[in-house]
């Protein structure tokens, strides 16, 4: 089972402390799996667009693209806006793949994985609609890779 633990910027340290073994996936503190794209507003359609762009971005990296090229392509092709925080600290493909593989190993060995992120003021607590988060894209990728590598 993969759990997504959502927190706020100010509660990140306490969330990680209260949930030992949890892995942070946001771009704010430089996770290689952080979402390079930022939503233009808090509108659900903008958030869904950013998550869809992230899904494409991660797929491109798994296929062999460098993160910079994958993000730039998504920016040009899909109109995604690259966050300055990511541009200033963009990861290498090797680091993204190594992190993804490490998450797969943790998931397979422990049988579970806790991913921690904080997105912009998450609307699902205020609205009946639901918007996916990039951590859920990562969770799906980890499960798929574990299935391919280990039949897990």
> Please, what is the average pLDDT of the chain?
84
Residue 35 placed within a domain: no
Mean pLDDT for 40-44 is: 78
pLDDT at 124: 46
The pTM of this model reads 0.86
Residue 34 placed within a domain: no
- Domain containing 129 equals 2-28+41-150
Residue 17 has pLDDT above 70, yes or no: no
Residue 20 has pLDDT above 60, yes or no: yes
- On whether the CB atoms of residues 87 and 110 are closer than 8 A, the answer is no
Residue 36 placed within a domain: no
Residue 115 has pLDDT above 50, yes or no: yes
pLDDT band, very low/low/confident/very high, at 29 (cuts 50, 70, 90): low
Residue 146 placed within a domain: yes
- How many structural domains comprise the chain? 1
């Amino acid at each position: 089972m993969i759990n997504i633990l959502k927190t706020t910027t100010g509660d990140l340290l306490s969330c990680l402390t209260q949930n030992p073994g949890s892995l942070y996936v946001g771009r704010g503190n430089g996770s290689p799996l952080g979402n390079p794209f930022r939503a233009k507003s808090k509108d659900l359609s903008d958030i869904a667009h950013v998550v869809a762009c992230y899904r494409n971005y991660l797929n491109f990296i798994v296929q062999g693209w460098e993160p910079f090229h994958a993000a730039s392509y998504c920016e040009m092709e899909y109109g995604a806006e690259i966050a300055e925080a990511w541009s200033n600290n963009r990861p290498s493909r090797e680091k993204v793949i190594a992190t993804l593989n490490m998450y797969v190993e943790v998931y397979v060995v422990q049988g579970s994985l806790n991913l921690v992120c904080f997105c912009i003021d998450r609307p699902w607590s205020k609205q009946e609609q639901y918007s996916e988060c990039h951590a859920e894209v990562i969770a799906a990728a980890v499960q798929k890779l574990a299935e391919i590598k280990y039949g897990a």
